[in-house]
Structure 1
């Protein structure tokens, strides 16, 4: 990989990740989960089985605050609602947002539409309980990294198609959008790395099994034939990652449908570089660019 020099050195210093298989997944999962943040938070369970964490600014309970609905990454096979939570917590501090993060069912124990259905159920609950959460229901931003970015794209399509929640924007960070492994970048990064072709194929197989021709576009959003009437969208990715080309294509198709999308491709970045090494110069630039986009969006929607 043609990595950014600083990121390449940091990556080399990390211990090698074991091969991702059915046998190793139970051992890897605890390392992919994150502890609860020490914040002003409320833990809930909705729909009988879907855990949510609500994080609010310190001090007075907000009213009519913007909401960031966060969906964690982990290939839809690992992680929890605290994974990568430091990313939206920057916006809680900066903009006074309420952050709501969801635990969804993981594959292979739950397959097909289970994960996206859980995330959509939570989205509906957030909108229905906006008043008690202290949020403005017209300023709900869905955001996620990796698999969470793909799920954020899926529930945004769902909400548009079903005419339910008026999502204000979607932020898709290195999103996992396409199960078909048909792009150049999906085949380019094989062997060693943070998220390789082999890992990606394994994760999608865990989720979909042997389904062929029956995959929902809400699960694999690149299958959606209509990307019109979507809210403002932010997409970013590294140049050295499996998801690069499917992410570029998704932004291109939003533009072709008359929509608004900001696309940022970070030269030398691998998958999840800004979450893994947030202090690196390229990571700082990626995070600052996202925050700037969100600041402009929230200013426009006051």
Structure 2
């Protein structure tokens, strides 16, 4: 594999920067720096019909959710979990991505403000993700949405939460969700894949950054044997919704996504797997400098999601 030219230019720009890496900051400063960095790389968001911050029942009190409604509301919806290692990220950092999903698919998007570490360590975020999916499935009909046309999606750590929420709620929802969209998901604490060994210094999540995330999220004792922390440990993949799994060639988490796709396929779950070989983790938030983000979002993800919703009841 080789880097595409735009990603190569991005890495040159990053390498010439004097900015301290995020893992050298405390978590509050790191959050501010992460938000600031995305203002430089994210595209201008498209218009949608309406947005509103709402609250839904959470495991330990109200859970904030941002609702994006398309100009012409339909019956499909997307439940979205943002990335950020369980420590960074927010409704605002992934606002543009959610607006694009809403605009391009015509679905109502619900972006979940799950609790972050270190204030709320594992499994708080998992519990919030499960509660949010149960809420949307239960209340979809009351919002003129179809519980059978829900897509569960997320990127990076949020992709892991999406996968866990689907496993933990299997057989308990009003209807099986129509799709799962996992964007360069973090799925295996054990770091067994070659990509975790070959790409230990790869921007934007070198090994130091990954350990910084895990130490904040899990504390000193990582729950390696808990499938809620390592979704690759779930044994039964049957009955899960069709999946689109997107990875990047220069991403330490690349092989985790590929292996998870294989496990789903072996269980009879329809899977589309796409590795964008010339780019890096987090590229979906870099549309201003990486055209691959536009191609992936608007030509691959939006089309695929629409196809899954169209299959429901067909």
Would the TM-score normalized by the shorter structure come out above 0.5?
A: yes
- CA change 1:132–1:164 in 2 (3 A) is closer
Q: Shift in Å at residue 249 of structure 1?
A: 0.4
Match status 1:199 vs 2:219:
no
Q: Shift in Å at residue 131 of structure 1?
A: 3.1
| Counterpart-to-counterpart distance in 2, 1:213 and 1:52 | 28
Give the secondary-structure state (helix, strand or coil) at the position aligned to 1:157: helix
| Counterpart-to-counterpart distance in 2, 1:242 and 1:71 | 20
Give the secondary-structure state (helix, strand or coil) at the position aligned to 1:297: helix
C-alpha RMSD of the superposition? 2.4
Residue in 2 that maps onto 1:114: 124
Match status 1:154 vs 2:167:
no
Residue by residue, what CA displacement relative to the aligned partner does 1:30-62 show, whole Å, maximum 9, x if unpaired? 233489x77511211223331111111236xx4
Q: Shift in Å at residue 215 of structure 1?
A: 4.2
Give the secondary-structure state (helix, strand or coil) at the position aligned to 1:49: strand
Q: Shift in Å at residue 208 of structure 1?
A: 1.7
Residue in 1 that maps onto 2:310: 299
Structure 1: tracts of 5 or more residues without a match: none
| Counterpart-to-counterpart distance in 2, 1:153 and 1:11 | 30
Match status 1:55 vs 2:71:
no
Structure 2: tracts of 5 or more residues without a match: 40-44
| Counterpart-to-counterpart distance in 2, 1:214 and 1:193 | 25
Whether the 8 Å CA contact 2:6–2:289 is kept in 1: the answer is: no
Residue by residue, what CA displacement relative to the aligned partner does 1:87-125 show, whole Å, maximum 9, x if unpaired? 332232233211111111111221221101111111111
Give the secondary-structure state (helix, strand or coil) at the position aligned to 1:120: helix
Mean Cα displacement is larger for which, 131-140 or 245-254?
A: 131-140
Whether the 8 Å CA contact 1:233–1:261 is kept in 2: the answer is: yes
Residue in 2 that maps onto 1:183: 193
Q: Shift in Å at residue 213 of structure 1?
A: 5.5
Alignment of 1:256-271 (within 5 A): 256-271=266-281
| Counterpart-to-counterpart distance in 2, 1:294 and 1:185 | 28
- CA change 1:145–1:16 in 2 (3 A) is farther
Residue in 2 that maps onto 1:286: 296
Match of 2:107 among 82, 97, 105: 97
Alignment of 1:115-134 (within 5 A): 115-134=125-144
Mean Cα displacement is larger for which, 143-152 or 25-34?
A: 25-34
Residue in 2 that maps onto 1:11: 11
Residue in 1 that maps onto 2:229: 219
Q: Shift in Å at residue 17 of structure 1?
A: 5.3
Alignment of 1:138-177 (within 5 A): 138-160=148-170, 162=172, 166-177=176-187
| Counterpart-to-counterpart distance in 2, 1:16 and 1:46 | 42
- CA change 1:169–1:74 in 2 (3 A) is same
Residue by residue, what CA displacement relative to the aligned partner does 1:140-183 show, whole Å, maximum 9, x if unpaired? 10111111111000101111164665221100000011111222
What is the TM-score normalised by the length of structure 1? Answer: 0.89
Residue in 2 that maps onto 1:86: 96
Residue in 1 that maps onto 2:42: none
| Counterpart-to-counterpart distance in 2, 1:256 and 1:229 | 12
| Counterpart-to-counterpart distance in 2, 1:237 and 1:5 | 18
Whether the 8 Å CA contact 1:169–1:232 is kept in 2: the answer is: yes
Whether the 8 Å CA contact 1:228–1:254 is kept in 2: the answer is: yes
